[in-house]
Amino acid sequence: MYLILFGAPGVGKGTQAKILSQKFSIPHISTGDILREASKNGTPMGLEAKKIMNAGQLVPDEIMVEIIRETLAEERCKNGFILDGYPRTTAQAESLNRLFKKLNISDYALVCLNANDDEIVKRLTARRTCKSCGTIFSLSEIENAVNCPVCKAENSFYQRKDDSEEVIRTRLEVFQSSTKPVKNFYKNENKLIEINGLNSIEDVTNEIIIGLEKTFSKKELFH
């Protein structure tokens, strides 16, 4: 089973990716992680991507899709994967489609987590990060706490710039203008599963599984 997790920043893709990865025993492939890994490993594409990123530029689609191809061809991905962070544009979706055909991947779906912008802003502005260990918490998790629950550092909570309302609104505008059309692309391909991302973590997971059961056979879900 091959999944693409899709949705606006802060909608909960990373959380669901970890849950689904464990449930179905397939790897979570974060494009941010594989870019860093390719750069660290010094592959030709990784070195090229590193040079581009160090210059503060976006990695071109042709390099990105080649790094993804190298990752998806690995042994760990032979029974499926969860792709998170790609595609972000319809051009990337088209490139990924061509890659899937080369890899003989046809049983895939795009799981789209939907949420309104105001709720996402509310969620993300309520996040705090520990300066010491980098763990991210919601305000409700650390209410009245002085020490970090993970590393026990004292008075270490702060709000990252990325979690300010101004930055979040800008990111959401980018998503709406360039990334949301990807959903329509997969809808036209009959590969779209839409999920209410505003529900609890457990309910979102259950809704995803119900959607997958309607799309894939049990053999594909639990190979």
The pLDDT of residue 48 is 87
Catalytic residues: 13, 88, 127, 160, 171
How far is it, in rounded angstroms, from Cα 198 to Cα 33? 26
Q: pTM of the full predicted structure?
A: 0.82
φ, ψ for residue 201, nearest 5 deg: -55, -45
User: Is the pLDDT at 223 greater than 60, yes or no?
Assistant: no
The pLDDT of residue 42 is 83
Reported as a single tens digit per residue, the pLDDT across 66-86 is 889 989 988 999 889 999 989
Confirm if 204 and 113 have CB atoms less than 8 A apart: yes
The pLDDT of residue 221 is 63
> From the CA atom positions of the chain, what is the Rg in Å?
18
> Could you tell me the pLDDT band of residue 219, with boundaries at 50, 70 and 90?
low
How far is it, in rounded angstroms, from Cα 99 to Cα 103? 6
User: Is the pLDDT at 50 greater than 70, yes or no?
Assistant: yes
> Could you tell me the pLDDT band of residue 220, with boundaries at 50, 70 and 90?
low
Q: What is the DSSP string of 81-135?
A: EEEES---SHHHHHHHHHHHHHTT--SEEEEEEE--HHHHHHHHHTEEEETTT--
Reported as a single tens digit per residue, the pLDDT across 72-122 is 988 999 889 999 989 988 999 999 999 999 999 988 999 999 999 999 999
The pLDDT of residue 114 is 93
How far is it, in rounded angstroms, from Cα 83 to Cα 81? 6
The pLDDT of residue 129 is 95
In sign, the C-alpha dihedral spanning 221, 109, 82, 204 is negative
CA distance between the termini of the chain: 8
Tokens 């592959």 belong to: 43
Q: Which residue has the higher pLDDT, 110 or 59?
A: 110
Confirm if 3 and 205 have CB atoms less than 8 A apart: no
The pLDDT of residue 44 is 85
The pLDDT of residue 218 is 59
- Domains in the chain (CATH in brackets) are 2-26+79-115+172-221 (3.40.50.300)
pLDDT > 70 in the chain, percent: 96
The residues near 193 (Cβ < 8 Å, ≥ 6 apart) are: 109, 110, 111, 112, 208, 211, 212, 215
Reported as a single tens digit per residue, the pLDDT across 16-44 is 999 999 999 999 998 888 888 888 888 88
User: Is the pLDDT at 46 greater than 90, yes or no?
Assistant: no
